[in-house]
């Protein structure tokens, strides 16, 4: 029988001992050698990515980050484990100091986070993302935060102090039943919309503080036809709306980096996926018609994830 604290996924590091269980997930911790990683691919325009955690309790069915799990067993169990990078704040301080030694006049641009959500449930207890913000605010990088959690509003007072900040709130569908199917453990759509409204209200945008707010409808998941207009009108709260197809409609659609769960969902939503490209095109058309006259930026894919 497994002993308490010795539940291992086996095969490879770094899943030594479970520290605790939190909100249904096994929590591990380790020390990282580095915390700022060179940004590549979709977000190559940034100097670094910053991921306070490895793994993500939201466990979205379509998440490509599952493919970077430490071993196949953990990939299958995506959403049920998190590794806390416990020395992250200390390492970040050293790495930012080193950057400014080499580039005294050039603040780095940082994207937090690319393969985890910095405000997943364990953050409410661990406050690791908050500790990283407190380090970063001293160094004033250009910072983009990508999350789907209203927990980010907890840190408004720190966020107010950044000079170049963009907050991207992920809301890939306007239909709650779809959200519950694809991202069972994520916060509700209304709570995310409320959060971005609150952030925008409390974080000043002026000549000293350039704060920007995006809603990333990425990847665009099915949206029930009756929900589309109401959803689009609520997106007016943002400065920028980003859309992106998950994959083109082909055999690999929605399965490229994900698990069996996503394949089954694709079958459930065949009414959308059979005609995915056309549904995307129609949704974009409505978005442009309703939001462009209000001055909101509508962007697609990689370009939409830039700070500027």
Q: Considering the complex, what minimum distance in angstroms separates the CB of residue 56 from ligand SF4?
A: 3
Of 79 and 174, CB closest to ligand SF4: 79
CA angle 70, 73, 77 (to 5 degrees): 95
Cα gap 193→51, rounded to integer Å:
24
Hey, what are 166's tokens? 């963009």
Of 50 and 96, CB closest to ligand SF4: 50
Residue 56 found at the interface with ligand SF4 (CB under 6 A): yes
Q: Considering the complex, what minimum distance in angstroms separates the CB of residue 187 from ligand SF4?
A: 10
In this structure, are residues 14 and 28 in contact, taking their beta carbons and an 8 Å threshold? yes
Residue 128 found at the interface with ligand SF4 (CB under 6 A): no
Determine the size of the site formed for ligand SF4 (CB under 6 A). 9
In this structure, are residues 110 and 47 in contact, taking their beta carbons and an 8 Å threshold? yes
State which of residues 65, 122, 220, 254 lies at the interface with ligand SF4 (CB under 6 A).
Answer: 65
State which of residues 49, 51, 69, 116 lies at the interface with ligand SF4 (CB under 6 A).
Answer: 116
Residue 243 found at the interface with ligand SF4 (CB under 6 A): no
Q: Is 47 helix (H, G, I), strand (E, B) or coil?
A: coil
Binding segment (CB under 6 A) for ligand SF4, from list 53-61, 192-200, 214-222, 270-278 = 53-61
Residue ranges of alpha helices (H) inside the chain are 72-76, 88-102, 123-126, 128-139, 156-159, 176-182, 189-202, 228-234, 260-268, 270-273, 276-291, 301-304
Residue 148 found at the interface with ligand SF4 (CB under 6 A): yes
Of 109 and 216, CB closest to ligand SF4: 216
Hey, what are 128's tokens? 């690791």
State which of residues 27, 35, 39, 60 lies at the interface with ligand SF4 (CB under 6 A).
Answer: 60
Site string for ligand SF4, 11-50 (x = CB under 6 A): ----------------------------------------
Inter-axis angle of helices 88-102 and 128-139, to 10 degrees? 20
Cα gap 113→111, rounded to integer Å:
6
What is the contact surface with ligand SF4 in residues (CB under 6 A)?
56, 58-60, 63, 65, 116-117, 148
């Amino acid at each position: 029988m497994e002993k308490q604290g010795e539940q291992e996924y086996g095969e490879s590091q770094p899943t030594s001992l479970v520290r605790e269980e939190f909100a249904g997930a096994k929590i591990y911790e380790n020390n990282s050698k580095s915390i700022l990683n060179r940004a590549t691919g979709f977000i190559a325009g940034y100097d670094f990515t910053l991921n306070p955690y490895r793994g993500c309790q939201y466990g979205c069915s379509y998440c490509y980050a599952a493919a970077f799990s430490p071993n196949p067993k953990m990939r299958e169990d995506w959403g049920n484990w998190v590794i806390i990078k416990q020395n992250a704040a200390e390492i970040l301080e050293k790495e930012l100091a080193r950057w400014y030694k080499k580039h005294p006049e050039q603040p780095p641009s940082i994207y937090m986070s690319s393969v985890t959500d910095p405000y997943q449930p364990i953050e409410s207890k661990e406050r690791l993302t908050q500790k990283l913000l407190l380090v970063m605010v001293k160094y004033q990088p250009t910072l983009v935060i990508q999350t789907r959690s209203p927990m980010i509003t907890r840190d408004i007072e720190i966020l107010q102090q950044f000079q170049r900040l963009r907050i991207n709130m992920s809301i890939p569908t306007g239909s709650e039943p779809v959200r519950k199917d694809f991202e069972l453990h994520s916060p509700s759509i209304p709570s995310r919309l409320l959060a971005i409204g609150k952030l925008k209200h409390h974080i000043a945008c002026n000549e000293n503080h350039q704060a920007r707010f995006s809603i990333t409808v990425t990847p665009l998941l099915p949206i029930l036809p009756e929900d589309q207009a109401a959803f689009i009108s609520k997106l007016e709260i943002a400065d920028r709306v980003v859309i992106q197809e998950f994959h083109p409609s082909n055999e690999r659609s929605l399965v490229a980096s994900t698990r069996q769960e996503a394949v089954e969902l694709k079958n459930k939503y065949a009414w959308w996926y059979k005609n995915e490209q056309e549904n995307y095109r129609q949704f974009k058309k409505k978005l442009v018609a309703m939001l462009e006259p209000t001055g909101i930026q509508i962007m697609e894919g990689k370009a939409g994830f830039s700070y500027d």
